[in-house]
Amino acid sequence: MSIIPTLKKDYIYKLAKQGKRIDGRGFNEYRPITIEPGIIRKAEGSARVKIGNTQVVAGVKMDVGEPYPDTPDSGVITTSAELIPLASPDFEAGPPQEDAIELARVVDRGIREAEVVKLEELCIEPGEKIWIVFIDIHVIDYDGNLFDCASLASLAALYTAIVPAEKFDLGENYPLPMRGEPPISCTAAKFNNALVFDPLLDEEEVAEARLTVATDAKGDLHAMQKGLSGGFTVDEVKKIIKGAIVNGREIRKKLQESIEKVKQNDT
Amino acid sequence: MQARKIVLPGEFLGETRSLKAGRGTFIEHGKIYAMILGIFERRGKLVQVIPIKGRYEPVEGDFVIGIIEEAMPSSWLVDINAPYPALLHVSETPWDIEFGDTEKYLKTGDSIMAKVLFIDVEKKLQLTLNDRNLYRIRGGHIIEVEPSKVPRIIGKKGSMINLIKRYTRCRIIVGQNGRIWLDGDDKSIAKVLMAIKLIEEESVSYGLTNKVENLLKMMT
Amino acid sequence: MKLIDEEGRRLDGRRFDELRKIKIEAGVLHRAEGSCYLEWGGNKVVAAVYGPREAVPRHTQDPVKAVVNARYNMAAFSVDDRKKPGPDRRSREISKVTSEALERVIITDLFPRASIDVNIEILDAEAGTRCAGLTAAAVALADAGIPMRDIPVACAAGKIGAEVVDGEVKGGYVVLDLGKDEDNYGNADLPIAIAPRTDEILLLQMDGHLTYEEFEQALDLAMKGCHIVSKLQREALLNKYRPDLEENL
């Protein structure tokens, strides 16, 4: 990792004490978000999401496989992430490192635990044949807050995905069966007693602790992940959850609009 | 006024019979070509290409803002935004440092204003703090700009940077390596940042000093 | 599979010497020092350049020049059947020949001990990704301000529509820039990369079956394709930086 200049850290701290951030945002405010589903033709579902300068492309591919013995009549989701050296001078080529694995697992949990993919409808022959849904996350440009960006891209890809039944002689293609409204992951970072949502890379570099919270449309919680070696007080955790619910509502609206647009174009 | 022309790598610029190849160019079979993306400039017989983007290329005698990467027993490794880290030896500091005590003076993450002492054929760089106005930087804020824009930010004989200082009353130090140190109250710093942003965006345009002055006037 | 119709048109309606639609954009990423986004037919490619920077690990350093590391990588979702993430033998080979092609034009002796890292990501693949990748990489290198003798460019030509009669290959047409089915069911593919200023060949691969005459024809066609794509590369770079000039005169 690159060296963090002490002056930069001091400056970010100093601004935070005055309630300010280096890019002029409020503590709870997100950078501009753009969501473009359906950009990869070869994928069953896909999306490019930008949060500020951070950019992620997620793709959904599907294959026919065998179910797990303990869930013989249920489809399977598997999520992978690559922190490719294209996205940052600090990312290295090679097998996924801890950071990429954590990213994939946090995104996976947010989606899985909200049970938005109807896995029971992805069974072809109980105990024999099911659909496997592969979510692959490709980080293109890294300026902080990969968790939220990758979650959003994965959701946009899933909600617009088409099951490729024809390719496997299993009848006509149909939309990936989804239920309910998407769960939204929101991440906050803590430094010098300040809590900021949607941290920039500069802020992540000086952050002591980080918390990602996935909430649904009702404001219920589905997945959380605390990261980095610092700690949170109970009050801080509660504050972040409340902020995640509020931000989640706005982001969900945006995601649903982008999904609707694709569906309208398809019909 | 003639438009400034952007040239691309490999673009033909002229013959060595009649012209002299300057920086940003190369010669092949008596012909001069651009070797980088940049702005074509001709001064008399000299043709050159001024870079628009690209890493800082250190030159001996440059004043640079460095960040300490690592303290070693008798020297420091310093990031100066160049392709290679630079070395600062204890003998090139004003301090009397015992072997192994380097961390007491400069530690990882500290910033310094230094001068490029020399560069060898393998591009190994050495810095010095033994000159006027070289020191460890305390307080303030450092921003980074494209190193190729530094000459515009400084202006002819410092005209641009002095203009900004006059209107904002900020303390500003511009490193040749694209790092700029700023100190002052938040409002003044915001003004400096706006002015620098304008220079960066319009670094190839004419009448830039007037534009910057108008912007600074508007903000006061 | 019939790749040419009665009127001599290709499956996607192109003429024999016609390229697929190409769109190039320079300087699209925030973090990289130079970057490019390119669409070529159904291919979507992003390329990013980092460096020159001190090569690590140290044993990879060359004391007299920079090393050029191109890394060609396909996204798992870029192909019909999901590809396992990470490099396979095919992508390693493409990375190698691409690195060598780019190294020829980069003025590497200016940066001893350094590496220039070129990352090519194939997001959507539809025949001809190595040419699309190298073409995008070259734009990203120029965008990063890397000193080069030229802006390299790649394009392929090939042969389609031949039939085998009694063990003899009959007929067939030499065409520019094979599309998806032409690549799968065609008779030969000849991807090349050149330095357009001198027409020096920087990359050349071939598979399939060509007579010597067909090879000459295909090479000529691929060269012509390269020069067309080269113009698009230049326009993309000028479009990125020229507006600064014109708006402010």
B5-15: pLDDT as tens digits: 899 999 999 99
Across the A:C interface, residue pairs with CB atoms under 8 Å apart total: 93
Residue C95 located in a structural domain: yes
pLDDT at A239: 98
Tell whether B69 is within 8 A of chain A (Cβ).
yes
CATH number, domain of A174, equals 3.30.230.70
Question: In chain A, what percentage of residues exceed pLDDT 90?
Answer: 91
Residue B31 located in a structural domain: yes
CA distance C191 to B99: 59
Provide the residue range defining the domain that includes A81.
6-266
CA distance A85 to C222: 31
Residue with the two structure tokens 């310094």: B112
Nearest chain B residue (CA) to C197:
B10
Residue A1 located in a structural domain: no
| Confidence (pTM) | 0.93
Residue A210 located in a structural domain: yes
Residue C153 located in a structural domain: yes
pLDDT at B3: 55
SS3 C8: coil
Residue with the two structure tokens 């003429």: C15
Lowest mean pLDDT among B76-85, B133-142, B201-210: B201-210
Contact residues, chain B, for A18 at CB < 8 Å: 186
| Cβ contact, residue pair C42, A41, below 8 Å | yes
Mean pLDDT of C42-58: 95
CATH number, domain of C42, equals 3.30.230.70
| Cβ contact, residue pair A3, B69, below 8 Å | yes
What amino acid occupies position A215?
A: T
Nearest chain B residue (CA) to A20:
B186
Subunits that touch chain C (at least 3 Cβ pairs < 8 angstroms)? A, B
Subunits that touch chain B (at least 3 Cβ pairs < 8 angstroms)? A, C
b vs e for B151-173, b when ≥16 Cβ sit within 10 Å of the residue's Cβ?
ebbbbeeeebbebbbebbebebb
What distance in Å separates residue C155's CA from the closest CA in chain A? 22
Residue C129 CB contacts under 8 Å (≥ 6 apart), including other chains: C43, C45, C72, C74, C122
Q: What does each C-alpha distance from A92 to C50, C74, C87, C121, C141 come to in angstroms?
A: 12, 16, 13, 14, 19
Residue C243 scores a pLDDT above 70? no
Is the CB of residue C165 less than 8 Å from the CB of residue C154? no
| Cβ contact, residue pair A7, B141, below 8 Å | yes
pLDDT at B130: 94
Residue C6 located in a structural domain: no
Q: In what order do the strands lie in the sheet with A209-215?
A: A194-197, A184-191, A209-215, A221-227
Question: In chain B, what percentage of residues exceed pLDDT 90?
Answer: 71
Numbers of helices and strands, H then E, in chain C: 4, 10
Average pLDDT of every residue of chain B = 92
Residue C8 located in a structural domain: no
Q: C181-236, pLDDT tens digit by residue? A: 999 999 999 999 999 999 999 999 999 999 999 999 999 999 999 999 999 999 99
User: Count of domains in chain C?
Assistant: 1
- Which of B35, B125, B152 is most worth mutating to test chain C (most C CB atoms within 10 A of its CB)? B35
Mean pLDDT of A138-142: 97
| Cβ contact, residue pair A3, B186, below 8 Å | no
User: Count of domains in chain A?
Assistant: 1
What distance in Å separates residue A4's CA from the closest CA in chain B? 6
Residue A174 located in a structural domain: yes
Mean pLDDT of C108-136: 97
Confidence of residue C97 (pLDDT cuts 50, 70, 90): very high
B72 lies in the same domain as B131: yes
pLDDT at C249: 41
Residue A249 located in a structural domain: yes
What distance in Å separates residue C193's CA from the closest CA in chain B? 16
Residue C7 located in a structural domain: no
Residue B150 CB contacts under 8 Å (≥ 6 apart), including other chains: B174, B175, B176, B177, B178
pLDDT at C2: 81
Residue B56 located in a structural domain: no
What the block records as the tokens of C184 is 């799968």
pLDDT at A1: 47
Contact residues, chain A, for B111 at CB < 8 Å: 5-7
Mean pLDDT of C126-154: 98
Provide the residue range defining the domain that includes B195.
141-219
Provide the residue range defining the domain that includes C29.
22-247
Q: Which of C144, C195, C245 sits opposite B54 (nearest CB)?
A: C144
Mean pLDDT of C66-95: 96
pLDDT at A30: 98
B31 lies in the same domain as B71: no
pLDDT at B186: 83
Residue B1 scores a pLDDT above 50? no
Mean pLDDT of A152-165: 98
* pLDDT: which is higher, C161 or C167: C161
Confidence of residue C248 (pLDDT cuts 50, 70, 90): very low
Q: Which of B10, B36, B83 sits opposite C114 (nearest CB)?
A: B83
User: Count of domains in chain B?
Assistant: 3
pLDDT at C244: 55
Residue C9 located in a structural domain: no
CA distance C11 to A100: 42
pLDDT at C245: 52
Mean pLDDT of A195-215: 97
